[in-house]
C-alpha cells in the first residue's frame, strides 16, 4: 500500500511538472524536503555533529532549513530538467577540471568515476551525457524497505530510466550483468561511474576515516578499478545559485597495484578528495540519513 502511494505521488508530481511553471513549483521545495526528511532531523544533526564536530548555531536551524530546501529542489528539479532543451539544460550545469577527464580518456582504455550524493546527482547525468561523453552510471533499482521486505517501485524506476535516457547516459542496475556492462563501457573508451558514499550491498564493506568519524563504504568500486588498472577520478557536484550546478572533475587518483589493502587506500583517498567539498556544503549532502557513520 505504501509503495503504491509513493508511486501515485511520483506520478502526480511528474504530471504537475508539465503544467506548473518551474519557478512556482520550486517555491514548494522546502515542503517537499520536509516530506522527504520528515522525522529525521535529530538523526541527521547527530551525524552532522559526529562528522563535522558541530552544527551551526540555534540547534542547527540554518543547516536544517537549507538542507530541506536543497533536498526539496532535488525532488522537483529533475522533472523540469527532463523538459528543458539541451542548450538550456547545459546552461544549468557548468564543469571544471574537464581537462582531467580528457586526459584520462587519451589512453583509450576508458576511465572510472567515483560519484557521491552531494549536490544534485541529476546534474552529473546532464553535465556529462549532453557534452558527448559515453557515460554509464551504476545504481540499485529504486525500491522501499517495508517492514523488512524490499518492495520495488517500478514506476519510479521507469521515470529514472527515462531521465537517464534524456541525458544520453546509460543506467546499469546492480546485479549479475554489472561486470559485463563495466567491461563494455571501458572497451568503448567510455566512463563507468559508481557511487561511493554509502554501501548498497551487505558484503565487502569497510569502515574508513571520514572527517572526525568513520563511514562504512563498499570496496567494490575500488576492487573493479584495481582489476582493470584504468584512471580513476572523483566527481563532485554542488548547487551554486538556485538552479545552477557545478561539476568538478578532480585530478586522477593514484591507483595502487592490487590487494584488499590497496582497495581501502584508494577509497580512503577518494573520501579525502570528497570531504573538503562536503565540509563547505554540508546541507547539500543527500546521504546524511543514509550513510553509516560511527565514532572513531
Query: Structural domain boundaries of the chain?
Result: 2-295
Question: Kindly report the CA angle at 106 between 102 and 112, in degrees rounded to 5?
Answer: 70
pTM higher than 0.85 for the full model? yes
Instruction: Walk across the sheet containing 205-210 and list its strands.
Output: 205-210, 213-218, 293-295
Question: Kindly report the CA angle at 252 between 138 and 232, in degrees rounded to 5?
Answer: 25
Relative to beta strand 244-249, strand 149-152 is unpaired
Length of the chain as a residue count: 296
- Residue 142's pLDDT is 75
Q: Which residue has the cell 554501501?
A: 199
Q: Which of 117, 246, 131, 142 is nearest to 193 (CA)?
A: 117
**Residue 21 burial (10 A CB sphere; 0-12, 13-18, 19+):** exposed
- Residue 120's pLDDT is 94
Which residue numbers in the chain have pLDDT < 50?
none
- Residue 32's pLDDT is 84
- Residue 6's pLDDT is 65
Q: Which residue has the cell 541527521?
A: 44
Measured between alpha carbons, how far is 97 from 58 in angstroms, rounded to an integer?
37
Beta bridge partners of 152: 143
Nearby residues of 254 by Cβ (< 8 Å), 6 or more positions away: 266, 269
- Residue 36's pLDDT is 83
Amino acid at each position: 500500500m505504501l509503495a503504491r502511494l509513493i508511486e501515485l505521488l511520483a506520478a502526480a508530481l511528474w504530471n504537475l511538472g508539465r503544467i506548473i511553471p518551474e519557478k512556482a513549483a520550486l517555491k514548494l521545495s522546502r515542503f517537499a524536503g520536509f516530506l522527504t526528511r520528515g522525522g529525521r532531523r535529530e538523526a541527521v544533526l547527530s551525524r552532522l555533529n559526529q562528522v563535522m564536530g558541530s552544527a551551526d548555531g540555534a540547534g542547527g536551524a540554518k543547516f536544517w532549513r537549507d538542507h530541506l530546501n536543497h533536498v526539496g529542489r532535488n525532488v522537483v528539479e529533475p522533472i523540469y530538467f527532463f523538459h528543458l532543451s539541451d542548450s538550456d539544460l547545459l546552461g544549468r550545469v557548468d564543469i571544471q577540471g574537464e581537462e582531467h577527464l580528457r586526459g584520462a580518456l587519451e589512453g583509450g582504455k576508458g576511465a572510472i568515476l567515483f560519484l557521491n550524493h552531494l549536490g544534485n546527482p541529476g546534474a552529473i547525468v546532464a553535465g556529462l551525457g549532453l557534452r558527448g561523453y559515453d557515460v554509464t552510471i551504476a545504481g540499485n533499482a529504486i525500491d522501499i524497505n517495508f517492514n523488512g521486505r524490499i518492495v520495488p517501485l517500478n514506476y519510479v524506476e521507469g521515470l529514472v530510466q527515462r531521465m537517464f535516457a534524456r541525458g544520453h547516459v546509460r543506467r546499469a542496475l546492480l546485479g549479475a550483468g554489472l561486470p559485463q556492462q563495466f567491461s563494455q563501457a571501458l572497451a568503448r573508451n567510455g566512463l563507468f561511474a559508481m557511487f561511493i558514499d554509502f554501501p548498497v550491498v551487505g558484503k565487502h564493506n569497510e569502515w574508513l576515516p571520514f572527517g572526525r568519524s568513520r563511514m562504512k563504504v563498499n570496496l567494490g568500486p575500488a576492487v573493479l578499478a584495481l582489476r582493470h588498472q584504468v584512471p580513476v577520478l572523483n566527481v563532485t557536484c554542488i548547487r551554486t545559485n538556485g538552479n545552477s550546478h557545478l561539476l568538478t572533475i578532480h585530478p586522477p587518483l593514484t591507483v595502487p597495484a592490487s590487494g584488499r589493502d590497496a582497495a581501502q587506500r584508494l577509497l580512503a583517498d577518494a573520501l579525502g578528495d570528497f570531504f573538503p567539498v562536503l565540509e563547505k556544503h554540508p546541507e547539500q549532502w543527500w546521504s546524511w540519513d543514509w550513510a553509516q557513520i560511527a565514532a572513531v
